A and B are shown apart, each in its own frame.
Chain A
């Protein structure tokens, strides 16, 4: 059987490389905009922006480590925000909004997982189909309009305001992100479920022969990703005070990019959650620095592409300097 921990030393080095990239970004940000970049307010802005896509990325990490891919995350986020903010749902109050967002995400994930694991539909195709239909349903329900949270449910939106920060500094959204990451990290690294995920992703046939129920496990991974999308949907409703079918646009690419530069193998079987989170932080920090410096969107995208390549090259360089040869 494949030892899940075999890639451990290189993955820690990868993370060190990403922390290096973050430090370089912080130096650039601090040098170009010392007053605006290096303060607590800006840290809160970066972490808040990272929190929504960060939660989606946690689910994506599980799916990719387990040997799959989920292209439907952005559409599921959009559908959960729309379904949770309809007039009918909102009449059930904050509880109705939260419950609806979670169940919509979870059910979409279960549908993905059921067809992939038991219907033998290729993950790429199944989740593209979900992407199209979930986004379509979101447009259908909302009629393309932005559904704002009604005054009766303002308590939910208030969680995003600075007077609701914990101890005056920690935004509830960032706390939710931290909890999801902590739970995800424990599940992936300290439980049988996590070890099985590595085994299923590394070699599904070997995992099956070793007695694992690979299909059931695969279904759970997609359900988990869907649930993360539901949580991200709630967070987006708090952040924007509304639900719309345009939410979560291209989240799938952002999440996959963060997972990949975080050092998770796209073929599955190896990866770290910490790397994925660092990947999200790198992208969010780039956005922040570019807007602070008043640079155009076009240069921003160009720089993102360059930084992805640099990050991966730095990781390779660090990995090759160590005597331990990665598997």
Chain B
């Protein structure tokens, strides 16, 4: 390690600086905690069918999802775990999240080998993961396909997920009603080459068309991150000195978009968010910014998926439906959360 013939003092100084910094880092390690002093609230499940909630046959539910590198996805994981913990008759096996199709395929295979009774899969990519769903179904394990849909019907027993098209449509309808059918509208989209972004934009455009007086004045695509939300929003604001409403596809990037709006000191328009984060709902409730509503893409779908998986494995039916088996497809509603109803949705918001 020691340098031959070269001046030692510089080396030693370098090590001292390095050592000091590493010590500092040791002290910092205590600063990675994110736990709040308040007790974590448990998800009080509304609408649990009394008979279905009663303990039944013991079942093992396997769960495979993507890596939680985004607020909504970490909400998905938290919802699934919390829901499974509510049932005494459920053993919950979670595979570590992965964004890579091949890695997730391996994890699903492991869950199949463990002979779980039912599988809940949120695929990294619906098309790429279809063979994995098929394998599970072939092994006699029913698959609950969460959100990103598999290619073939035989690869899953039941699909449950959100409605991107209606999210855009409902955002446009809400904006149209609030503006009285007249005005100019901006759109801050998410990652442009994703199908879900295209569906959201299509729904938004179709919704705007129902109001002849509404005009889409501008659109920019961020990348679902705070940073890109701030950047694209500040440029959009510069491009449009006046406009009446803004729809932002995603509340995570909305944190950045709201920053850009505050930094530019802009007011006098209506902003609608998307997905339904806790920060967005708190802002709607406080009513102290331009953000007046957000269109849900509910992360509670993970809790519902676990609940449906349990019912399938126990061979029960869904309460409140007059059917002898659980439906094959459940599309969730993209509700518009406003100050009037925010208290109802706040407990289910993701961090």
A-side interface residues toward B, CB under 8 Å? 33, 35-36, 41-42, 45, 48-49, 83, 86-89, 92, 96, 100, 103-104, 106-107, 110, 114, 118, 139, 141-148, 157, 160-163, 208, 211-213, 215-217, 219-220, 223, 236, 239-242, 244-249, 287-288, 291-294, 296-298
Query: Any chain A CB within 8 A of the CB of B326?
Result: no
Contact between B67 and A291 (Cβ–Cβ < 8 Å)?
no
With beta carbons under 8 angstroms apart, the residue of B31, B67, B256 that contacts A100 is B31
Which residue of chain A has the shortest Cβ distance to B189 in the bound complex?
Answer: A297
Known: A96-B31, A213-B6. 9 other contacts (CB 8 A): A106-B21, A160-B263, A161-B262, A213-B3, A216-B13, A246-B252, A247-B226, A294-B218, A296-B192
Within 8 A of A (CB), among B196-233: 218-221, 223-232
Contact A36 B25 (CB under 8 A): no
How far does the Cβ of B257 sit from chain A's closest Cβ, in whole Å? 10
Chain B residues near A87 (CB-CB < 8 A) = 33-36
Bound-complex Cα distance A213 to B32 (A): 36
User: Bound complex: CA of A142 vs CA of B351, how far in Å?
Assistant: 10
Q: Which residue of B lies closest to A244 (CB)?
A: B226
Does B265 contact A89, Cβ atoms closer than 8 Å?
no
Q: Is the contact region of chain A dominated by helix, strand, or loop, or is it mixed?
A: helix
Q: Which residues of B contact A294 (CB under 8 A)?
A: 218-220, 239
Min CB–CB distance B271 → chain A (angstroms): 16
Of the A-B pairs whose beta carbons lie under 8 Å apart in the complex, a sample of 16, sorted by A's number, is A36-B241, A41-B238, A87-B34, A92-B31, A104-B28, A145-B351, A148-B279, A161-B262, A216-B13, A219-B14, A223-B18, A240-B229, A246-B223, A246-B224, A247-B227, A249-B228
A291 contacts B21, C-beta separation under 8 Å = no
Given contacts A104-B25, A110-B21, are A146 and B238 in contact (CB under 8 A)?
A: no
From B7, B30, B69, B265, A144 is in contact (CB under 8 Å) with B69
- Say whether A86 contacts B33, CB under 8 Å: yes
Point out the residues of chain B lying under 8 angstroms from A110, CB to CB. 17-18, 21-22
With contacts A103-B28, A143-B34, A248-B227 taken as known, whether A148 is within 8 angstroms of B265 at the C-beta atoms is no
What's the nearest-Cβ distance from chain B to residue A101, in Å? 10
Q: How far apart are the CA atoms of A148 and B282 in the complex, in Å?
A: 13
- Of the residues A114, A161, A292, contact of B238 by C-beta under 8 Å: A292
- A86 engages B31 (CB within 8 Å): yes
Number of A-B contacts defined by CB within 8 Å: 183
- A100-B31, A110-B18 known; A240-B259 Cβ under 8 A: yes
Interface pair B351/A291, CB less than 8 Å apart: no
Q: Which 5 residue pairs of A and B lie closest in terms of their CB atoms, listed nearest first?
A: A144-B68, A144-B74, A291-B235, A246-B225, A88-B33
Q: Are B226 and A240 in contact (CB under 8 A)?
A: yes
CA distance A239 to B255 in the complex (A): 11
Kindly supply a per-residue 1/0 record for chain B positions 235-259, scoring 1 wherever the CB is within 8 Å of any chain A CB and 0 otherwise: 1101101000000000010011001
Chain A positions within 8 Å of B10 at CB level: 213, 216-217
A145–B72 CA distance with the chains assembled, in angstroms: 8
Q: A88 to B18, Cβ gap below 8 A? A: no
Give the shortest distance, in Å, between B235 (CB) and chain A (any CB). 4
Contact of A240 with B230 at beta-carbon distance under 8 Å, contacts A88-B32, A110-B18, A294-B219 already known: yes
Docked-complex contact B192 and A162, CB < 8 angstroms: no
B11 interface contact, C-beta 8 A: yes
Residue contact B223 to A249, C-beta cutoff 8 Å: yes
B181 at the interface (CB under 8 A from A): no
In this assembly, does B56 line the interface, its C-beta being within 8 Å of a C-beta of chain A? no
| CB-CB nearest in chain B for A97 | B31
Question: When the two chains form the complex, which single residue of B74, B219, B223, B279 contacts A143, counting CB atoms closer than 8 Å?
Answer: B74
B327 within 8 A of A: no
Q: Which residues of chain B are near A144, meaning CB under 8 Å?
A: 67-71, 73-74
- Known A42-B238, A213-B7; contact A88-B69, beta-carbon cutoff 8 A: no
Q: A33-B239, A45-B238, A110-B21 are in contact. Are A246 and B3 (CB under 8 A)?
A: no
- Contact residue among A216, A220, A246 (Cβ-Cβ distance under 8 Å from B69): A246
Q: Does B32 contact A83, Cβ atoms closer than 8 Å?
A: yes
By the criterion CB–CB under 8 Å, are A118 and B71 in contact?
A: no
In the assembly, what is the distance between CA of A48 and CA of B236, in Å?
Answer: 14
- In the bound complex, do residue B239 and residue A36 qualify as a contact, i.e. CB atoms below 8 Å apart? yes
Residues in chain B near residue A241, CB distance under 8 A: 255, 259
Chain A residues with CB under 8 Å of B259's CB are 157, 160, 239-242
Contact A246–B36 (Cβ < 8 Å): no
What is the bound-complex CA distance between A213 and B9, given in angstroms?
10
